């Protein structure tokens, strides 16, 4: 396993990594997705939810399935589902301190939109701590963990995967990172979709607290 002391870059997923109250945030997003599908396809909410779930499992994002089967306009979908209330999110001063003091390139790598990342990071008080965001639009709507998505991200940020730590809450998304040479870290959670494949050997680290993990890396690099 490559040494964490040698990394130059960190890739952070957004939802479930930069904050961990996934249900409070993504519960709202999921509800908006169901509403959108119901209205757009003229089906009831129960059928809309079934379709949303099936597409997520089959195509890695519900949007991907909706684009393939129903020619849904992606920008309209993203704007609708990410229009949520985040007023309950508090500034994370501990995370901010660690991000500020770890002298590495820091990027957000998400299946969501840039606007959603900005909304999240602003509420957390860390919106000025990242060197770039790669979102589903940058990925040409190919969701993680597709290889083309990872490769487009590497091209955009001009990073060497072999000098990069990749942190995710969805374990299977780390598979392509490991294949391309990153050190991988899974943020432990009990979400069905998050922990699926979490026993695989492409996961280098299993962590419980992002801020503490960043502190360990900071101290390691300063030693």
From the list 132, 141, 88, 85, the residue with the least C-alpha distance to 112 is: 141
Which residues lie closer than 8 Å to 201 by C-beta, 6 or more apart? none
CB-CB neighbours of 58 under 10 Å: 11
Same structural domain, 121 and 31: no
Same structural domain, 202 and 99: yes
Same structural domain, 46 and 14: no
- Write the CATH number for 37: 1.10.150.450
Same structural domain, 46 and 104: no
Same structural domain, 217 and 137: yes
Convert the pLDDT of each residue in 113-135 to its tens digit: 999 999 999 999 999 999 999 99
**Tokens matching residue 177:** 């990172």
Residue 193 reports pLDDT greater than 90: no
Convert the pLDDT of each residue in 30-46 to its tens digit: 999 999 999 999 999 99
C-alpha to C-alpha distance for 187 and 152, rounded to whole angstroms: 24
pLDDT at 222: 85
Strand order, beta sheet including 183-187: 132-134, 105-109, 9-12, 164-168, 183-187, 205-207
From the list 170, 184, 217, 180, the residue with the least C-alpha distance to 11 is: 184
Same structural domain, 110 and 215: yes
What is the length of the chain?
223
30 phi and psi angles, rounded to 5 deg: -60, -40
Cα 223 vs. chain centroid, distance in angstroms? 30
Same structural domain, 156 and 173: yes
Residue 223 reports pLDDT greater than 90: no
pLDDT at 4: 94
Q: Specify the number of domains making up the chain.
A: 2
CB 94 within 8 A of CB 30: no
Task: Give the range of the structural domain holding residue 29, as residue numbers without chain letter.
Answer: 24-81
Q: Against a cut of 0.85, is the pTM above it?
A: yes
C-alpha to C-alpha distance for 51 and 66, rounded to whole angstroms: 9
Same structural domain, 63 and 127: no
């Amino acid at each position: 396993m490559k040494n964490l002391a040698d990394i130059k870059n960190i890739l952070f997923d957004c939802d479930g990594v930069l904050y961990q109250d996934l249900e409070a945030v993504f519960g709202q997003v999921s509800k908006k997705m169901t509403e959108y599908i119901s209205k757009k396809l003229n089906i009831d909410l129960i059928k809309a939810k079934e379709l949303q779930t099936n597409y997520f499992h089959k195509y890695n994002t519900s949007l991907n399935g909706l684009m393939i089967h129903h020619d849904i306009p992606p920008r309209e979908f993203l704007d609708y589902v990410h229009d949520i209330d985040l007023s309950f999110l508090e500034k994370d001063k501990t995370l901010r301190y660690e991000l500020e003091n770890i002298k590495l390139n820091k990027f957000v790598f998400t299946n969501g939109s840039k606007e959603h990342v900005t909304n999240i990071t602003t509420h957390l008080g860390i919106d000025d701590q990242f060197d770039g965001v790669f979102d589903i639009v940058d990925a040409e709507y190919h969701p993680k963990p597709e290889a083309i998505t990872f490769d487009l991200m590497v091209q955009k940020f001009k990073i060497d995967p072999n000098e990069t730590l990749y942190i995710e809450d969805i374990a299977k998304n780390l598979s392509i990172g490991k294949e391309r040479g990153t050190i991988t870290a899974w943020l432990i959670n009990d979400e069905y979709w998050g922990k699926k494949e979490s026993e695989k050997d492409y996961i280098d680290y299993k962590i419980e607290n992002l801020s503490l993990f960043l502190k360990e890396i900071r101290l390691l690099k300063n030693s």
